Amino acid sequence: MRRSACVRRNPPGSKMFRGRVGYYIWFPKPDGKCGRRWGGELKRDAQAKLDKMIASGEITAPTPETITLEQFVPMYLKHKAVVLGRKPSTIVGDRNRLTGAILPELGEFQLASITANTVSKYLQERRRTVSVATANRERALLSHIFTVARTLLKGYAAEHPIRGKIPAPIERTSRHNEALTELDQVRLLDACRVVDTGIKRPYLWLMCLVSLDTGARPGRQTLTLRWTDIDHEAGMIRFKNTKSGDHAVPATARLLAALRERQAASTSSYVFPGKGGTRPLVKYFGRFRQAADRAGLSRTTIAYHLRHTFATNLLMRGVPIQVVKRLLGHSTVLMTERYSHSSDAAERAASDLAGSIGSTHEERSDEREADG
């Protein structure tokens, strides 16, 4: 496989360029051998030198047939941000996935040379060290890159290596799809009060209550909540900048009472302020593990189960799935249907329990008749 010119990193400990740490330019020579030239300590300096070499005709610019994945990534991210209008946080997440995992393994490959077998081997290796969800995200990102390549690269007509060849999605785990029983919820909230005792920012109990009573996603959606987002008169809480935009959710009486009590003692505009009170907390649910252990919950229990519990409770009480969809802020009802499986399972368990009680009652009646 003949690769095109690109910028590569010279890591610490390398014997090339007398051990200098930085970036160099790799390019193919006419005789088939490879050439290397020092680019600089910064990647942008090396890229500028590469552009000059291409402009002067010293080396050949990459074509749609020879461009590598690493060379195409900047074009892809710019297209995704400017043309497709994705959020900056989405672009940062994609860049981190690419630079942290995908490019070190596949970056030097030409786009046209990457096959379904290449991607499958990469994903199989990733599954050994990361969760199924992480592998799914990387697979989806790679698939979108090849889709965009057909739009941006004129003359690129290579077969899509993922679509229709690698099943989507890969089997997912169900650790987000577990609902807590009513007894578990009581135990967890009691444990949260214990964990909150004697610390500077005792917010865990209220955070868990927000997720349990509104279905808010634990993390940024909960942590960035402001007092102005809470309408006590209407009994509504507005969550902003969620995955599907802003949406309002009715609040329970106990949650409004707890928020009113917290607001009376607060001097910050945030419900859960961080140090100094001018910004929200960045992370706090590490304490959730302590509370879950104290409550005797399973080690697989995570904070996201509070959101799932909210949805499952509504579905079990006969709330229409379209209403649950709006409360959760889902873009499609297909996402909400994932939660219906737990409610079905809970109903079956309740039915089995009722059946076992009935069977026991009949057995005792038969025993009394036999004794009589």
| pLDDT of 270 | 92
| pLDDT of 341 | 56
Write down the pTM of the prediction.
0.54
Instruction: Tell me what the mean pLDDT of segment 261-286 comes to.
Output: 86
| pLDDT of 331 | 80
Q: Do domains 64-173 and 182-303 have the same CATH topology?
A: no
Q: Enumerate the domain spans of the chain.
A: 1-61, 64-173, 182-303
pLDDT in tens, 299-342: 777 888 898 899 888 888 888 989 988 888 888 887 787 776 55
pLDDT band at 178 (very low <50, low <70, confident <90, very high): confident
pLDDT band at 362 (very low <50, low <70, confident <90, very high): very low
Q: Looking at per-residue confidence, does 359 or 162 come out higher?
A: 162
Instruction: Tell me what the mean pLDDT of segment 222-226 comes to.
Output: 89
| pLDDT of 60 | 67
Please, what CATH class does the domain formed by 182-303 belong to?
mainly alpha
Q: What is the 3-state secondary structure (H, E, C) of the chain?
A: CCCCCEEEEECCCCCHHHHCCEEEEEEECCCCCEEEEEEECCHHHHHHHHHHHHHCCCCCCCCCCCCEHHHHHHHHHHHHHHCCCCCHHHHHHHHHHHHHHHHHHHCCCEHHHCCHHHHHHHHHHHHCCCCHHHHHHHHHHHHHHHHHHHHHCCCCCCCCCCCCCCCCCCCCCCCCCCCCCHHHHHHHHHHHHHHHCCCCCCCHHHHHHHHHHHCCCCCHHHHCCEHHHEECCCCEEEEEEECCEEEEEECCHHHHHHHHHHHHCCCCCECCECCCCCCECCCCCHHHHHHHHHCCCCCCCCCHHHHHHHHHHHHHCCCCHHHHHHHHCCCCHHHHHHHHHHHHHHHHHHHHHHHHHHHHHHHHHHHHHHHC
Q: Looking at per-residue confidence, does 209 or 200 come out higher?
A: 209
> 171 pLDDT exceeds 80?
no
CATH architecture of 64-173: Orthogonal Bundle (1.10)
| pLDDT of 350 | 43
Instruction: Tell me what the mean pLDDT of segment 51-57 comes to.
Output: 83
pLDDT above 90: percentage of residues in the chain? 33
- CA dist 33 to 63, 87, 187, 253, Å? 19, 42, 68, 74
Q: Which of 14-18, 36-40, 172-176, 296-300 has the lowest mean pLDDT?
A: 172-176
pLDDT in tens, 104-152: 999 888 888 899 999 999 998 998 888 888 888 999 999 999 999 988 8
> 243 pLDDT exceeds 80?
no
